[in-house]
């Protein structure tokens, strides 16, 4: 799995011209399931995201997690994060999980977030979405499940 985590001031997601998600300050997660990711690894990944300390504390330092503040998150699927640009001029997507597997992983991602008491809004898996957001820079982080060698131990 690969995800981009962005700290944002506001965001909205539209599908077929209708706003399906609208939020103020929160985190945005764009997530791509990869062939070979396990359910356990996906759940551990979701828990890691909930506990990353990248929110400002009272002194302006990145010391708080979304769990610490009872924060909100938005999540969208993003197939192109594992595109292969090695041959030719057209990207390949053979490393991404098949659609049915990706959809199941995407749905499971929200379960650990609920256990951590995080308000999570999810977009429609596989939909052609229009995403509007205002970044709260400088926080944007790539995360990848293959960075952790032992899926049972976790991040």
User: Quick one: 104 exposed, middle or buried, by C-beta within 10 A (0-12, 13-18, 19+)?
Assistant: middle
Domain boundaries, the chain: 2-130
pLDDT, tens digit, for every residue of 63-108? 998 888 887 888 887 777 777 788 888 888 877 777 787 777 777 7
All residue ranges of the chain with pLDDT < 70 are: 109-117, 146-155
The CA-atom distances, in angstroms, between 140 and each of 10, 38, 85, 127 are 14, 25, 23, 23
Check if CATH label 3.50.80.10 holds for domain 2-130. Answer: yes
The pLDDT assigned to 152 comes to 46
């Amino acid at each position: 799995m690969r995800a981009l985590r962005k700290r944002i001031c506001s965001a909205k997601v539209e599908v077929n011209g209708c706003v399906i998600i609208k939020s103020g300050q929160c985190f945005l997660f764009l997530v791509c399931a990869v062939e070979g990711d396990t359910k356990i690894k996906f759940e551990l990944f979701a828990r890691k995201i909930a506990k990353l300390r990248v929110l400002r504390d009272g002194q302006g330092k990145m010391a708080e997690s979304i769990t610490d503040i009872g924060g909100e998150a938005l999540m969208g699927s993003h197939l192109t994060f594992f595109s292969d640009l090695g041959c030719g001029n057209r990207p390949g997507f053979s490393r991404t999980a098949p659609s049915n597997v990706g959809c199941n992983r995407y749905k499971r991602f929200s379960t650990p977030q609920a256990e951590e008491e995080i308000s999570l809004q999810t977009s429609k898996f596989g939909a052609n979405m229009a995403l509007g957001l205002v970044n709260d820079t400088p926080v944007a982080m790539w995360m990848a499940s293959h960075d952790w060698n032992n899926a049972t131990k976790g991040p």
